[in-house]
């Protein structure tokens, strides 16, 4: 049997082995957290609907409260689903010597290590990229939610509900807007399908991770996310559209989780203040890895997206802002994210 470009099982076992330990709690405490998060995910549905004006189908599966290993497995499955066309092409065009058992294992170990680091940072995720026939899930990563609340010194239940509001907004975005899931999947596949590089070059790009870390450690400015180094001009256009969409989605969710107010989350103001401090002041190694993986750009998505959403709502109200969900042509470009008045003028005249 032909060797795959990525040893997916090794990626999973590497990620699971390197994932950080969760907070110190016994089995009964862990079970209580799972029960509370499930209940709060349900409690978040109504305030999100009231705030956004978006009506999601009522038959959605309940939120999945998971650990870090399950999150890693979900993301490996998503990578495998999205990347298989280009990886099959690479394997068929250059089966040796680049695509070897050694190469597939090296790539898997690098992927597993990156996902292990991320698995300790992500609080929740909506599975937007799943194979046909598989139902997407809203995932809440219990150990991270508990640990961040402890680190911030905030009230656990309030913080858990606050996170549920953000993640429920993502579920509503993808289920209340009929075209959004297919649009996002198609754009992602378009980006991946256009990748056309020799196997040796593709594998060498994955090997640049360590070098990029060393560059950042040495203080080299302008280090970019590895993905950008393999994009053609056409792919960069698609990448920019996806970036604008993700900035919109993250900013919208950030606005909603705050706008519900103290009536829903009594300590929302102090949670937001402390959480913003956490985003802006990562530890030394966190700072290195964020730069290498392009996570600085991810952090900006929250603030820039929220500024766009708030400005649009101030101009045309929530109903006017919701025109963004009418059709793909109404989505803002990256330039319009920076200049919300241009989006308002284009969409509303």
Q: Are residues 257 and 167 in contact, defined by beta-carbon separation less than 8 angstroms? A: no
- Residue 201 pLDDT greater than 70, yes or no: no
- Residue 35 pLDDT greater than 70, yes or no: yes
Residue 255: closest CA among 178, 176, 312: 312
> In the structure encoding, which two tokens stand for residue 234, read together?
């056409």
Between CA 48 and CA 165 the distance in angstroms is 7
> In the structure encoding, which two tokens stand for residue 346, read together?
């284009």
For the whole model, what pTM was predicted? 0.85
On the CB side of 117, CA atoms within 13 Å amount to 14
pLDDT at 202: 54
Q: State mean pLDDT over 293-319.
A: 82
Between CA 196 and CA 87 the distance in angstroms is 10
> In the structure encoding, which two tokens stand for residue 12, read together?
């999973």
Q: What's the mean pLDDT when you consider all of the chain? A: 82
Q: State mean pLDDT over 178-182.
A: 94
CA distances from 330 to 110, 179, 180, 241, 303 (A): 38, 12, 12, 12, 21
Outline where DSSP puts E strands in 63-141. Answer: 64-66, 124-126, 138-141
Q: What φ, ψ does residue 139 adopt, rounded to 5°?
A: -105, 135
- Please state, for a pLDDT cut of 70, what percent of the chain lies above it: 76
Of the pLDDT bands very low, low, confident and very high (cuts 50, 70, 90), residue 217 is very low
CA distances from 160 to 72, 156, 257, 299, 322 (A): 21, 6, 11, 20, 27
- Edge-to-edge order in the sheet of strand 138-141: 64-66, 138-141, 124-126
pLDDT at 128: 86
> In the structure encoding, which two tokens stand for residue 266, read together?
């009594």
pLDDT at 96: 59
Of the pLDDT bands very low, low, confident and very high (cuts 50, 70, 90), residue 66 is very high
pLDDT at 4: 65
The count of other CB atoms within 10 Å of the CB of residue 314 is 11
pLDDT at 302: 78
Lowest-confidence region among 143-152, 172-181, 230-239: 230-239
Lowest-confidence region among 46-50, 137-141, 233-237, 318-322: 233-237
- Opening angle at CA 64, ends 60 and 70, nearest 5: 135
In three-state secondary structure terms, 75 is helix
pLDDT at 328: 97
Q: State mean pLDDT over 168-184.
A: 95
pLDDT at 60: 79
Higher pLDDT, 83 or 27: 27
Of the pLDDT bands very low, low, confident and very high (cuts 50, 70, 90), residue 229 is low
């Amino acid at each position: 049997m032909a060797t795959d470009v990525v040893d997916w099982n090794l990626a999973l076992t590497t990620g699971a082995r390197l994932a950080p330990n969760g907070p110190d709690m016994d089995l009964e405490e862990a079970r209580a957290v799972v029960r509370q998060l499930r209940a709060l995910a349900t409690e978040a549905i109504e305030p999100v609907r009231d705030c956004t004006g978006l009506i999601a189908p009522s038959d959605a599966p309940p939120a999945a409260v998971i650990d870090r290993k399950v999150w890693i497995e979900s993301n490996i499955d998503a990578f495998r689903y999205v990347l298989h066309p280009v990886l099959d092409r690479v394997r068929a065009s250059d089966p040796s010597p680049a695509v070897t058992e050694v190469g597939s294992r090296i790539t898997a170990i690098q992927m597993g290590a990156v996902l292990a680091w991320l698995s300790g940072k992500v609080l929740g995720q909506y599975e937007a990229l799943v194979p046909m026939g598989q139902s997407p899930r809203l995932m809440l990563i219990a150990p991270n939610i508990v640990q961040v609340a402890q680190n911030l010194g905030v009230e656990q239940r309030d913080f858990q509900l606050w996170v549920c509001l953000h993640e429920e907004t993502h579920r509503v975005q993808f289920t209340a807007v009929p075209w959004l899931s297919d649009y996002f999947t198609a754009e992602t596949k378009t980006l991946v399908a256009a990748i056309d590089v020799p196997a040796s070059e593709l594998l060498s790009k994955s090997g640049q991770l360590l070098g990029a870390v060393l560059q950042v450690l040495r203080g080299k400015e302008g280090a970019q996310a590895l993905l950008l180094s393999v994009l053609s001009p056409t792919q960069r256009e698609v990448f920019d559209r996806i970036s604008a969409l993700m900035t919109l989605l993250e900013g919208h969710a950030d606005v909603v989780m705050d706008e519900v107010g103290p009536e829903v989350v009594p300590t929302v103001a102090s949670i937001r203040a402390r959480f913003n401090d956490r985003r802006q002041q990562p530890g030394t190694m966190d700072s290195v890895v964020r730069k290498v993986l392009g996570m600085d750009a991810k952090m900006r998505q929250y603030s820039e997206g929220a500024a766009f959403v708030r400005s649009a709502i101030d101009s045309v109200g929530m109903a006017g802002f919701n025109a963004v969900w009418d059709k793909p042509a109404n989505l803002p470009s990256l330039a319009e994210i920076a200049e919300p008045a241009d989006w308002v003028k284009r969409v509303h005249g």
